[in-house]
Amino acid sequence: MALPEAFIAKYQDLLGNGSGPFFEALAGPIDKGFRLNPLKANQEPVDLSLDNPIAWSKNGYFGQVSGKSIDHTTGLVYSQEPSAQFVAEVVDAKPGERVLDLAAAPGGKSTQLAGQMQGQGLLWTNEIFFGRAKILSENIERFGVRNAIVSSADSKDLAKALPGYFDRVLLDTPCSGEGMFRKDPDAVSYWSEGYPRECADRSEGILDNAVKMLRPGGILVYSTCTFAPEEDEKMIAWLLKEYPEFELLPIDKVAGSGIADGRPEWADGNPDLKKTARLWPQDLPGEGHFVAKLQKSAAAEEVKAPKEQKADKLSAEEASLLESFLAETVPGLPVDLSRLVRFGDRVFLLPEGCPAFGKVKILRAGLCLGTFKKKRFEPDHALALAVYPDEAKQTFAIDDPANWAAYIHGEALTTKADLEKGFVLMTAGGNGVGWAKFVNGQLKNFYPKGLRH
């Protein structure tokens, strides 16, 4: 990897004698990592070792995930670069809170926050670019998250819709990506000497909107995957001057991990900037990251809370079809019928207390239960990934390699199992993977065509 001369000169100047190990690390090997999903019924991976935990990530481990494995397909694991896992640990979301991940695609940090929240409260996860938002929504689905809203909106539009609403806001801001040079050599080609400043200017506007959505006393976590002081310490110095109601909070840097203090001398000299965290590839097994944690004063002015999203009323026939389906297929799943919304024929179970969507483009509104068809209700793939096997009336394990390969390829399975006619939750590794419909000794395959391989 050939680094730009201006980049080399910049970090030789900033790091002095420490620049040698820094450039050596950028030329070195990449560390792979993954996280276990605490939302899944079974926490034991089929294909992966848990022998090498990541010191700064509660559910994180070093290792490489296969995208076709049982562990990945069932959503038990999420492949995520080790340093990136530190960011959501700093957010430290609690069950029952309202949490926003403002620039969330592809979903690593959002799924980590969802695990912390344990299905309680509301996770709003957003990505401005619709194509990337679809990937975010797919990862939220695979992780089995029941309480997430996925949107694709500009931060200023969200700020208008959701002022002062969230207990915690994470802004992993779009940045110059210097910390990903080793992992993504294409990022090098985008870099120019003025690019970090351009990114910082853009981030100021996004941060301004993030601030507006945070309630008094709320927590704001700002992170980047760049080394650039313009986007890191200087950005936090700007925020503290622009918004005096904020104070920097200390971050637990996990003794012995190699996580370093921020560098006040690279901004305005404010010693509080040491409370921020820097992850350098020469100091730990991971890529480059910067993280800051701030709290908004509890005395800050409150704003009027947004109205709740109105539920949709089902017809008597639809309500009967849905209730029958739930009783016959997932009798153990708690479903509050007063929190249902429809997108066409698809039915979603809203998170409790969900705010009104307004004109914001929504991709996922909580848990998709399924779709109304002619005289019947069919379960959604998201439901198979979200329910625990003991919440389903019927399950069928496909851990046998032949059955697994046949099912994810879209084939029907023949069985002599004692099953009743109807939908069956297919499981692998003790976790749901999809649906099949049992009729006359055969399991008709409902695994989505777009996921088959």
CA distance 107 to 139: 6
Q: Is the dihedral of CA 268, 224, 125, 432 positive or negative?
A: negative
Q: What is the DSSP string of 175-219?
A: ---GGGTTT-THHHHH--TTHHHHHHHHHHHHHHHHHHTEEEEEE
Interatomic CA distance for residues 340 and 353, integer angstroms: 12
Which residue positions form the known binding site? 103-109, 127, 154, 172
Distances (CA, A) of 405 to 64, 411, 415, 431: 21, 9, 16, 16
Adjacent-strand bridge partners of 346: 343, 371
Q: How far apart are CA 332 and CA 340, in angstroms?
A: 18
Whether the CB-CB separation of 136 and 106 falls below 8 Å is answered with yes
With residues binned 3-state (H G I as helix, E B as strand, rest as coil), the percentages for the chain, rounded to 5, are: 30, 25, 45
Joined tokens for residue 132: 């990337």
In eight-state DSSP terms, residue 451 is G
Q: What is the largest CA-CA distance in the chain?
A: 74
Q: Report the C-alpha gap between 425 and 404 in whole angstroms.
A: 14
Q: Which residues are annotated as a binding site for S-adenosyl-L-methionine?
A: 103-109, 127, 154, 172
CA distance 263 to 226: 14
What backbone torsions phi and psi does residue 32 show, to the nearest 5 degrees?
A: -100, 150
Burial of 222 (0-12, 13-18, 19+ CB in 10 A): buried
- Give the tokens for residue 236: 């936090």
Catalytic member of 199, 225, 354, 368: 225
Backbone angles phi, psi at 386, to 5 degrees: -95, -30
What count of other Cβ atoms lies within 10 Å of the Cβ of residue 283? Answer: 16
Answer yes or no: are the C-beta atoms of 152 and 128 closer than 8 Å: yes
* CA–CA distance, 371 with 444 (Å, rounded to integer): 17
Give which of 87, 92, 61 is closest to 168, Cα–Cα. Answer: 92
CA distance linking residue 89 with residue 49, whole number of Å:
22
Is 175 in the active site? Answer: no
Catalytic residues: 225
